[in-house]
Amino acid sequence: MLQALKVKLMSGSYANGAWEGVIEIHSSSTLEELHLAIQKATNFDNDHMYQFYIARTERSRERVSFDDESGEVFNTTIGDLYPLPNKRNLYYFFDFGDSWLFKITKTRKGVQQPCPGIKYPRLILEIGEKPEQYPAWEE
């Protein structure tokens, strides 16, 4: 089964405006696969540490984290997380130096069957200008 997840840029050192995308991904996909799908959707290089976490807000101290050191991103699936606990959100934090933060929510589109011949995950909707991970520096 497929989930449609909205990925919205909340902040980042070089954020150049509002960006969000909708990614169709298998419910059985791991958080590592979601990380790679977000990297592809934003055209980011996969060259920094990252984590996912569930919290009330992006700044909440009380959170449940999923990272690669514990192996949880390789074992936790989208289907394991949803539905999220009441009044909690899923966040993706990439590059702890430049602090790219994305909020991930389910869209109103219900769970769908995959279409034959289509490769998932895939970006199905994009709003705004993609963030630039490494902007050109003027000398």
Predicted pLDDT of residue 87: 93
Are 14 and 130 contacting, i.e. CB atoms less than 8 angstroms apart? no
pLDDT tens digits, 85-125: 999 999 999 988 888 999 999 987 766 888 889 999 999 99
Q: Which fold has domain 2-128?
A: 3.10.290
DSSP class of 91: E
DSSP class of 31: H
Predicted pLDDT of residue 32: 96
DSSP class of 136: P
Helix (H, G, I), strand (E, B) or coil at 42: helix
Domain range annotation of the chain: 2-128
DSSP lists the bridge partners of residue 4 as 24
What does pTM read for this prediction? Answer: 0.90
Residue 13 identity (one-letter amino acid): S
Predicted pLDDT of residue 108: 78
User: Which residues does the chain have with pLDDT short of 50?
Assistant: none
